[in-house]
């Protein structure tokens, strides 16, 4: 079970309940155990699902990998003890999360599975021992911390210019359905755009799978301009941009690790691993992919025993620091393709592969000082300034101490030697104090009783761990953080308006609140340090562009306490303007799944405040869009359109007066599926001029044949 504090992110794990003895006479203790297990399973399932949404949809991991993995293991153990209590939507049985609606959804021809994690040599040995003896030859590859992708190549196109071309890129999504991000993936220079060599045994198409990632060096350059937590977040965000030109500027990379062909000897035309050029093993496939100009991670190795696998894992746990890309473990795969097929898979994992997770890297350094930062909601957060040290691919000079309770729990003092790590490979945090190196004259750290920014006495409630400054309207630090939040990427995305620029604007009296940003002039910006004509023009353009941001980003940007991006989306769907939102009541908010009493009360209190009312009226006056009725109506129409052809399978044949890709997109947007071959499952064959064998096959099977005009009438 999880106990989580919203401010401190402190997590406690409660061990799974022990099974009752079957010799127990009374059933009451067993009932109590089951009730406790049921509650734990429900709470863990809910938490893990929420964390999955944060990780896969928003690219904003809420907790570290260690916490997530520990909770998932606890849930697995509980479900093993009480299988009938397992929920149908359990995270132990699902891959990723649902697909967002911004891109066209595409069904995978073969499910994109996740990998089961093992921690340490003992768990690795247990996994190996479950395999038959003949399957115990392995290929070890570095586990890249990026975004899984499927690349499809069309080998049998009727148009000669398209034969062998890279046709589509689809994200993993929930494992069954992903998002079409083809245009963005085309910007990755190392992906072959065409298969030039003849490979007749591959059939109509073949699929290559890999991991898209961002190098540390490219991430550091991007992080100087954009607000991303780590390379994986930056990669995910870059793939979901609506402008592929911006994606191209991000310099993404890819390593491929698997290939599948379509087996037309079976009725289903299933996908199987292999290239069929005499390949019998995964190792041969990797070599073949390299010869076809795909980029395979060079650090893979054929291991013929468990000891060799352990040696590879231990070696790269140390050497990973030398790499310019993020890796958090080793993927271990059974080498024989025949054995892979025989071992099969569960609903979530292949039985022939596993991910060996590296322990979080820790280094020792010394605390030079402890600063207290004041956030936009007034929370005082302690941050340790440490002697700069290399950690997980970057130089770390600051580490989070979370809150006053954490300082007291660790007994952290200025001058202490400490061990730090990156929680989830992202945020540097202090793990422990090296007590035998402590100066005997050191003094415990005293948390301030007054706000370091405005001098107001701080407050602490029983419900929260956070200590806050109550001077909400007059604290300079809170005012600056609120403006920074409005300008942030997930809110109004005012590119070029970073912390130092906003600080200068406030110090010079050029702005007082967020509405003042929309009154800035070029001359005012040029008066600031570091600005020239072009940079000033770019900032003014970004400010103007932000006036038409979506309602969810506007709500999020206002910085209402407890209202994150996900809650802002719920509110945007329910209320079609800022005015409707401001006039809504607490019951109207709490009827929304995901909005609780505390959040509802904060929203009502926020919009009842005279300063907020004045601010929203100012935003309207300067032209910021606050009425979204038309936009949401169009969104509803798009949603309705997505159900018109739900579940219908189309095959397109012949030539048309518009690109075939455009017709395919129309089918997909309407909820249908575009297939490449005619079968009994095909609902319609969309026939153009000079149709060939597919038309003949459709007539033989009695499949309904329609023209483009009839198809458009269906829509």
Q: Residue 382 has what pLDDT?
A: 93
Q: Please give the backbone phi and psi of residue 484, each rounded to the nearest 5 degrees, phi first.
A: -60, -40
**CATH 2.40.50.140 domain residues, the chain:** 363-451
pLDDT band of 506, cuts 50, 70, 90: very high
212-235 pLDDT, tens per residue?
999 988 888 887 676 666 788 888
Spatial distance between the Cα atoms of 382 and 6, rounded to a whole number of angstroms: 16
Which token pair is 318? 């140390």
Q: Residue 262 has what pLDDT?
A: 59
Q: Residue 338 has what pLDDT?
A: 87
Distance of CA 346 to the CA centre of its chain: 23
Task: Give the sign of the dihedral formed by CA 322, CA 326, CA 329, CA 330.
Answer: negative
Instruction: Please tell me which residue in 47, 105, 143, 422 is annotated as part of the active site.
Output: 143
Active site residue 319: no
CATH architecture, domain defined by 363-451? Beta Barrel (2.40)
CB burial of 352-363 (b: ≥16 within 10 Å; e: otherwise) equals bbbbbbbebbeb
Whether the model pTM is above 0.85: no
Contact between 247 and 218 (Cβ < 8 Å): no
**CATH 1.10.150.20 domain residues, the chain:** 476-628
- Tell me the range of 227-231, 414-418, 710-714 where mean pLDDT is highest: 414-418
**CATH 1.10.287.610 domain residues, the chain:** 2-93
19-37 pLDDT, tens per residue?
333 333 334 445 667 777 8
Evaluate if residue 635 carries a pLDDT over 80.
no
Neighbouring-strand partners of residue 310: none
Spatial distance between the Cα atoms of 371 and 352, rounded to a whole number of angstroms: 49
Q: Which of 166-170, 425-429, 538-542 has the lowest mean pLDDT?
A: 425-429
365-388 pLDDT, tens per residue?
999 999 999 999 899 999 999 998
Evaluate if residue 565 carries a pLDDT over 70.
yes
DSSP symbols for 491-558: TT--TT--HHHHHHHHHTTS-SSGGGGGG--HHHHHTSTT--HHHHHHHHHHHHHGGG--HHHHHHHT
Q: Residue 2 has what pLDDT?
A: 33
Q: Alpha-carbon Rg of the chain, whole angstroms?
A: 28
More confident site: 443 or 236: 443
457-484 pLDDT, tens per residue?
999 887 778 899 999 889 999 999 999 9
CATH T-level assignment (fold) for domain 105-357: D-amino Acid Aminotransferase; Chain A, domain 1 (3.30.470)
More confident site: 48 or 330: 330
How wide is the angle at C-alpha 304 spanned by C-alphas 299 and 308, nearest 5°?
Answer: 60
DSSP symbols for 190-215: TS-SB--S--GGGTTEEEEEEEEE--
Which token pair is 646? 């739900």
Distance of CA 307 to the CA centre of its chain: 34
Spatial distance between the Cα atoms of 322 and 390, rounded to a whole number of angstroms: 11
State in Å, rounded, how far the first CA of the chain is from the last one: 49
Q: What is the DSSP letter of 267?
A: T
Average the pLDDT over 425-442 and give the result: 86
**CATH 3.30.470.30 domain residues, the chain:** 105-357
Q: Residue 19 has what pLDDT?
A: 37
Average the pLDDT over 509-520 and give the result: 94
Evaluate if residue 205 carries a pLDDT over 80.
no
Evaluate if residue 690 carries a pLDDT over 90.
no
Evaluate if residue 203 carries a pLDDT over 70.
no
pLDDT band of 688, cuts 50, 70, 90: confident
SS3 state of residue 462: coil
Selecting from 1.10.3720.10, 1.10.287.610, 1.10.1060.10, 1.20.1440.230, what CATH number does the domain 2-93 have? 1.10.287.610
Q: Which helix (H) or strand (E) holds 481?
A: helix 476-487
Average the pLDDT over 646-663 and give the result: 79
Contact between 420 and 400 (Cβ < 8 Å): no
Mean pLDDT of the chain: 81
Evaluate if residue 156 carries a pLDDT over 80.
no
Evaluate if residue 578 carries a pLDDT over 80.
yes
Q: Residue 487 has what pLDDT?
A: 93
Spatial distance between the Cα atoms of 188 and 179, rounded to a whole number of angstroms: 17
User: Which CATH number describes the domain made up of 476-628?
Assistant: 1.10.150.20
Evaluate if residue 58 carries a pLDDT over 50.
no
Q: Which helix (H) or strand (E) holds 141?
A: strand 138-144
Q: Residue 455 has what pLDDT?
A: 95
Q: Which helix (H) or strand (E) holds 123?
A: helix 120-129
How wide is the angle at C-alpha 270 spanned by C-alphas 268 and 276, nearest 5°?
Answer: 135
User: Which CATH number describes the domain made up of 642-714?
Assistant: 3.40.50.10190
Contact between 154 and 163 (Cβ < 8 Å): yes
Continuous H helices in 275-356: 282-291, 306-319, 337-343
Burial class (CB in 10 A: 0-12, 13-18, 19+), 617: exposed
How wide is the angle at C-alpha 708 spanned by C-alphas 704 and 713, nearest 5°?
Answer: 85
SS3 state of residue 209: strand
**CATH 3.40.50.10190 domain residues, the chain:** 642-714
More confident site: 255 or 237: 255
Spatial distance between the Cα atoms of 525 and 519, rounded to a whole number of angstroms: 11
């Amino acid at each position: 079970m999880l106990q989580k504090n919203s401010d401190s992110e402190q997590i406690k794990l409660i061990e799974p309940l022990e099974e009752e003895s079957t010799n127990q006479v009374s059933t009451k203790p067993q009932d109590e155990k089951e009730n406790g297990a049921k509650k734990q399973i429900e709470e863990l399932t809910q938490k893990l699902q929420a964390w999955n949404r944060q990780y896969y949809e928003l690219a904003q991991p809420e907790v570290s990998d260690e916490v997530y993995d520990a909770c998932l293991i606890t849930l697995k153990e509980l479900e093993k003890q009480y299988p009938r209590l397992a929920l149908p939507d359990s995270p132990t049985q699902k891959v990723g999360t649902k697909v967002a609606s911004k891109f066209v959804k595409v069904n995978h021809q073969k499910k994109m599975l996740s990998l089961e994690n093992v921690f340490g040599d003992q768990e690795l040995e247990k996994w190996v021992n479950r395999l038959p003896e003949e399957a115990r030859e392995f290929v070890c590859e570095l586990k890249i911390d990026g975004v899984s992708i499927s690349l499809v190549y069309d080998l049998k196109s009727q148009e000669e210019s398209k034969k062998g071309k890279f046709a589509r890129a689809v994200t993993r999504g929930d494992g069954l359905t992903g998002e079409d991000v083809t245009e963005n993936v085309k910007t990755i220079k190392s992906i072959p755009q065409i298969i030039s060599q003849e490979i007749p045994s591959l059939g109509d198409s073949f699929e290559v799978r890999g991991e898209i990632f961002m190098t540390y060096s490219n991430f550091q350059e991007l992080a100087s301009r954009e607000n991303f937590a780590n390379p994986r977040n930056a990669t995910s965000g870059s793939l979901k941009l609506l402008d592929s030109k911006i994606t191209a500027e991000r310099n993404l990379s890819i390593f491929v690790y698997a290939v599948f062909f379509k087996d037309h000897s079976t009725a289903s035309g299933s996908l199987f691993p292999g290239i069929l050029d005499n390949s019998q093993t995964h190792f041969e496939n990797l070599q073949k992919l390299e010869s076809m100009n795909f980029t395979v991670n060079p650090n893979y190795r054929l291991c013929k025993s468990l000891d060799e696998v352990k040696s590879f894992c231990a070696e790269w746990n140390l050497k990973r620091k030398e790499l310019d890309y993020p890796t958090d473990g080793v993927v271990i795969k059974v080498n024989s393709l025949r054995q892979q097929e025989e071992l099969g898979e569960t609903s979530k994992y292949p039985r022939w592969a596993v991910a060996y997770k590296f322990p979080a890297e820790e280094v020792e350094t010394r605390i030079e000082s402890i600063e207290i930062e004041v956030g936009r909601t007034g929370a005082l957060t302690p941050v340790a300034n440490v002697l700069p040290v290399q950690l997980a691919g970057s130089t770390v000079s600051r580490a989070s101490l979370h809150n006053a309770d954490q300082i007291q729990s660790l007994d952290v003092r200025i001058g202490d030697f400490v061990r730090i790590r990156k929680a989830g490979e992202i945020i540097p945090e202090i793990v422990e104090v090296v007590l035998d190196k402590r100066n005997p004259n050191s003094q415990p750290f005293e948390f301030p009783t007054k706000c370091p920014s405005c001098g107001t006495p701080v407050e602490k409630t029983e419900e929260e761990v956070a200590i806050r400054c109550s001077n909400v309207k007059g604290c300079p630090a809170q005012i600056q953080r609120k403006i920074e939040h409005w300008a942030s990427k997930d809110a109004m995305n005012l590119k070029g308006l970073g912390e130092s620029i906003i600080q200068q604007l406030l110090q010079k009296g050029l702005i007082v609140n967020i509405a003042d940003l929309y009154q800035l002039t070029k001359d005012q910006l040029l008066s600031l340090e570091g600005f020239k004509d072009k940079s000033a023009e770019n900032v003014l353009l970004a400010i103007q562009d932000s006036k038409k941001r979506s309602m969810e980003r506007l709500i999020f940007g206002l910085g209402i306490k407890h209202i994150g991006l996900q809650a802002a989306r719920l509110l945007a769907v329910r209320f079609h303007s800022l005015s409707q939102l401001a006039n809504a009541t607490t019951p109207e908010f709490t009827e929304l799944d995901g909005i609780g009493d505390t959040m509802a009360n904060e929203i009502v209190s926020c919009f009842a405040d005279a300063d907020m009312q004045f601010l929203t009226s100012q935003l309207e006056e300067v032209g910021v869009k606050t009425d979204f009725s038309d936009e949401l109506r169009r969104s509803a129409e798009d949603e309705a359109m997505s159900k018109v052809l739900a579940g219908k399978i189309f095959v397109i044949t012949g030539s048309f007066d518009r690109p075939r890709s455009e017709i395919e997109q129309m089918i997909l947007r309407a909820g249908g599926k575009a297939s490449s071959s005619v079968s009994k499952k095909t609902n319609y064959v969309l026939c153009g001029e000079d149709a060939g064998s597919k038309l003949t096959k459709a007539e033989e099977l009695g499949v309904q044949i329609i023209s483009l005009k009839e198809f458009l009438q269906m829509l």
